[in-house]
């Protein structure tokens, strides 16, 4: 098979290394090579992602920047300390770059439609993330705007992960350490309440700003992102909603989605079913988050869902790299 992968983000880069060698793969990336960058806070769970990265032939541990011990969740009138079990930041840009540097990449190639230039390809993967350039628009799409600064300072106020959720769980502010006096400070919020907060931080802690980045994150899950394919185009990663809605976490789920694609290469219906099954819990989490955003959350009505989300997070400590305790979860879910 000849596979075109459109988008050289984490999904496209990982996929290019997971498609078995008997197939031919070419990447198409809209950015020029010198402007290409992986917008993200670079947080993930080391014990979990290590195995996925190994499957692509790379050593995740070589890219780790900071290993977390605890994450402070600032609820305004109280602070929770969540024990961390593998949450790290890693140099996502360097790893993604290493994944594509030996591959054939067409830089500066903005693909709008898999037209005649793709005649020689059997499949054209839409790994364009938020853009979803090759698939129909999603009705009722939910995307959360975000802004992030990469900063450096000798006066950083924290030495570990900190998040501050905005009221009604419409997003959160974050501080993710990168080691060596550097950090990602950012915010994602439906109402854009992070505006001004990064500049204040920079001023207060005398930071050098190394990079200002941001883009909206799609938090609507795969169930609502159908169709996953159109003609020979097939969506993989954030283009079909593989982001955990409560956390905006999309690195691991994008890789998992790439693996599902590889397992069902040439079988779009099998792939569709596998994606729907794999991300079933994301729909439940999404409905909970949406009810908070829309202001129609009812503890009584949502209690069974909340319990099952708690249980899912609690039983997936390695997957998320943090320990989910019932009281912490209850407080975050109900106080905000």
Expressed in percent and rounded to 5, the helix, strand and coil fractions of the chain are 40, 25, 35
User: Which run of H or E residues covers position 302?
Assistant: helix 299-314
Contact 41, 89 (CB under 8 A): yes
Look at residue 3 and give its three-state secondary structure: strand
Q: Which is nearer to ligand FAD, 43 or 207 (CB)?
A: 43
82 and 322 Cβ atoms separated by less than 8 Å: yes
Residue 227 preceded by cis peptide, ω within 30: yes
Q: How far apart are CA 146 and CA 126, in angstroms?
A: 23
Tokens of 243: 């982001």
Cβ of residue 190: shortest distance to ligand FAD, in angstroms? 14
* Minimum CB–partner distance for residue 299 and ligand FAD (Å): 29
Which of 84, 217 has the CB closer to ligand FAD? 217
d(CA 253, CA 241): 9
Question: β-pairing, 229-230 with 233-235?
Answer: antiparallel
Give the torsion through C-alpha atoms of 102, 107, 111, 115, to 10 deg.
-70
Q: To the nearest whole angstrom, how small is the minimum distance from the Cβ of residue 30 to ligand FAD?
A: 4
Q: Which residue is listed with tokens 């106080």?
A: 335
Closer to ligand FAD by CB, 188 or 272: give it: 188
Decide whether 49 or 332 has the Cβ nearer to ligand FAD: 49
CB contact at 8 A, 165 and 335:
no
CB-nearer residue toward ligand FAD: 177 or 248 = 248
10/246 with CB nearer ligand FAD = 10
Taking the least distance from each CB to ligand FAD, the nearer of 243 and 293 is 243
Chain residues binding ligand FAD by CB under 6 A are: 6-12, 28-31, 39-44, 109-111, 127-131, 133, 146, 148, 186, 214-215, 217, 237-238, 243, 248-251, 254
Across 69-87, b (16+ Cβ under 10 Å) vs e yields ebbbbeeeeeebebebbbb
CB of 8 to ligand FAD, least distance (A): 5
Residues 6 or more apart from 302 whose CB is under 8 A from it? Answer: 288, 291
Q: How far apart are CB 284 and ligand FAD at their closest, in Å?
A: 19
| Shortest distance, position 98 Cβ to ligand FAD, whole Å | 15
Closer of 11 and 17 to ligand FAD (Cβ): 11
**Dist CA 37 CA 40 (whole Å):** 9
Cβ proximity to ligand FAD, 72 vs 130, nearer residue: 130
In the bound complex, what is the minimum distance in angstroms from residue 311's beta carbon to ligand FAD?
22
> CB of residue 22 vs ligand FAD: minimum separation in angstroms?
24
Q: Which two tokens stand for residue 9?
A: 């983000």
- The neighbouring-strand residues paired with 186 are 148, 174
For 266, the token pair is: 């040439």
Q: Cβ of residue 119: shortest distance to ligand FAD, in angstroms?
A: 18
């Amino acid at each position: 098979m000849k596979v075109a992968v459109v988008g050289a983000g984490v999904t496209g880069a990982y996929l290019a290394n997971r498609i078995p060698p008997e197939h031919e793969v070419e990447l198409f990336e809209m950015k020029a090579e010198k402007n290409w960058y992986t917008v993200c806070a670079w947080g993930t769970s080391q014990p979990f992602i290590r195995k996925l990265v190994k499957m692509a032939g790379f050593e995740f541990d070589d890219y780790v920047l900071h290993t977390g011990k605890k994450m402070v969740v600032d609820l305004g009138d109280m602070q929770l300390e969540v024990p961390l079990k593998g949450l790290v930041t890693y140099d996502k840009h360097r790893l993604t770059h290493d994944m594509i540097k030996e591959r054939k990449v067409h830089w500066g190639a903005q693909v709008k439609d898999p037209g005649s230039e793709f005649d020689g390809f059997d499949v054209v993967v839409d790994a364009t993330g938020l853009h979803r350039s090759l698939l129909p628009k999603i009705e009722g799409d939910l995307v959360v705007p975000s802004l992030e600064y990469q900063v450096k300072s000798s006066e950083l106020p924290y030495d570990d992960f900190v998040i501050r959720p905005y009221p009604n769980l419409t997003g959160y502010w974050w501080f993710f350490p990168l080691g060596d006096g550097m950090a990602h400070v950012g915010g994602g919020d439906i109402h854009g309440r992070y505006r001004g907060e990064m500049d204040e931080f920079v001023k207060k802690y005398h930071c050098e700003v190394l990079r200002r980045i941001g883009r909206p994150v799609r938090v609507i899950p795969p169930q609502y992102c159908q169709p996953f394919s159109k003609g020979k185009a097939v969506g993989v990663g954030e283009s079909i909603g593989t982001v955990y809605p409560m956390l905006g976490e999309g690195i691991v789920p994008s890789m998992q989605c790439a693996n599902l694609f590889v397992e069902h290469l040439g079988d779009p219906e099998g792939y569709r079913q596998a994606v729907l099954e794999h991300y079933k819990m994301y729909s439940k989490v999404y409905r909970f988050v949406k009810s908070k955003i829309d202001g129609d959350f009812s503890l009584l009505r949502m209690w069974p869902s909340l319990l099952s989300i708690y249980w899912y997070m609690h039983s997936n400590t390695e997957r998320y790299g943090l320990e989910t305790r019932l009281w912490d979860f209850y407080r975050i879910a109900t106080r905000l």
